[in-house]
Amino acid sequence: MNDDPNVVEVTAAPPHPKRSWTATVHRWWNSKWRDLRGPFWVVLLVGLFLVGWLFDSIFINVMPGHAGVLWRRFSGGTDMTHVYGGGLWIINPFNQFYIYETRLQQRDTEFTALSTNGLTLNIRASVRFRPIVKDLPLLQEEVGPDYIDRVVINQTQSVIRKVIGTYAPDQIYGSQGNILQNVVFTALAELRARHIELDDLLIREVRLPPKMANAIENKLEQEQISIQFDYILLRERKEAERKKIEAEGILQFQQTVAKDLTEKYLKLRGIEASLALAKSPNAKVVVFGTGPGGLPLILDMADPPAASPVPAAASVANPAVPLVAPAAVTMP
């Protein structure tokens, strides 16, 4: 220690401790955070707001039975190389995502058409279809999401009008099979050219004006009656031919048998028939002498009329008073 009052002793300051790298970074970050804390929260809130506002444009769900087509705003428009199937897709919110239903769909349509003679017909049809999945980018580019109204319905009506216009009203009733076949073949080719698959097409109803419909029905009814008369005439001709053949057969039989018939043979057959009738348990007969030609006379007495009672003076011995009026006389 120096005792001189004019001399001041100076002590060296102790060296600063050496800071670590993490401490240096933390100190720097704290200083920066104090400056950026306000703008950071503003940017975060704005970002969250934008994500919530554009959520449906960023996260796209493609449900079963559907497929999607992507339109890129800044990179070439419609993506022609890829069809997006079912699932969750994350896209740029500036792009546009179009979803198509790929299941079978059915639409009904009612419209009017003109026949070949200019008559107005009311037609109700039903078409079943679906888009061709691999051609969805082409369908999006050429037609658009409203392809059902633009193509399917209009094309179907056009084809039906074209085919119906070649038939007269009275031909439509009898040619529905050919009409439907022509319509399906034509519509199948035209819809496939528009990237749409036709599954089936039905013409459910063709309504004519009431007077025309009644006239056609009457005409068809008269045609059926005419066909019925033709059948009746044919049947009667065949029946006449059958009777002619039968008469010729009977005539030939009689001519053949007449050669061998004699009076004694006929008497013998008559006696045999009389014996058979007399032995019958269900018949009651009375024999009076003999009939013409020497054959017995058979009177059927099974059911005498109630209005003819037997007179009291009647007897077998008095042939002038008959027992009862005969119901039938058999001359074998």
110 plus 170 within the same structural domain: yes
179: CATH: 3.30.479.30
Of residues 12 and 219, the one with the higher pLDDT is 219
List the single range of 1-15, 46-60, 164-178, 202-216 with lowest mean pLDDT.
1-15
Q: Are residues 165 and 98 in contact, defined by beta-carbon separation less than 8 angstroms?
A: no
116 plus 97 within the same structural domain: no
93 plus 145 within the same structural domain: no
292 plus 326 within the same structural domain: yes
Q: Are residues 100 and 66 in contact, defined by beta-carbon separation less than 8 angstroms?
A: yes
Question: Is residue 48 helix, strand or coil?
Answer: helix
With 0-12 / 13-18 / 19 or more C-beta atoms within 10 angstroms meaning exposed / middle / buried, residue 99 is middle
* Paired tokens of 174: 């009898």
Tens digits of per-residue pLDDT, 64-104? 999 999 999 888 899 999 999 988 898 888 889 999 999 99
Question: Is residue 315 helix, strand or coil?
Answer: strand
According to DSSP, the β-strands at 120-131 and 196-207 are antiparallel
> How many whole angstroms separate alpha carbon 212 and alpha carbon 85?
53
Sign of the dihedral through C-alpha 321, 324, 329, 332: negative
With 0-12 / 13-18 / 19 or more C-beta atoms within 10 angstroms meaning exposed / middle / buried, residue 188 is middle
Residue 21 lies in a domain: no
pLDDT at position 5 is: 59
Q: Residue 197 forms beta bridges with which residues?
A: 130
The pTM of the full predicted model, rounded to 2 decimals, is 0.53
Question: Is residue 207 helix, strand or coil?
Answer: strand
Domains in the chain, number: 4
Tens digits of per-residue pLDDT, 252-263? 877 777 776 677
Tens digits of per-residue pLDDT, 184-230? 888 999 999 999 999 999 888 888 877 777 777 788 788 889 999 99
* Paired tokens of 290: 């003999």
Residue 4 lies in a domain: no
Domain that holds residue 116: 105-208
185 plus 147 within the same structural domain: yes
According to DSSP, the β-strands at 77-78 and 66-72 are antiparallel
Dihedral angle of Cα 87, 90, 93, 96, to the nearest 10 degrees = -40
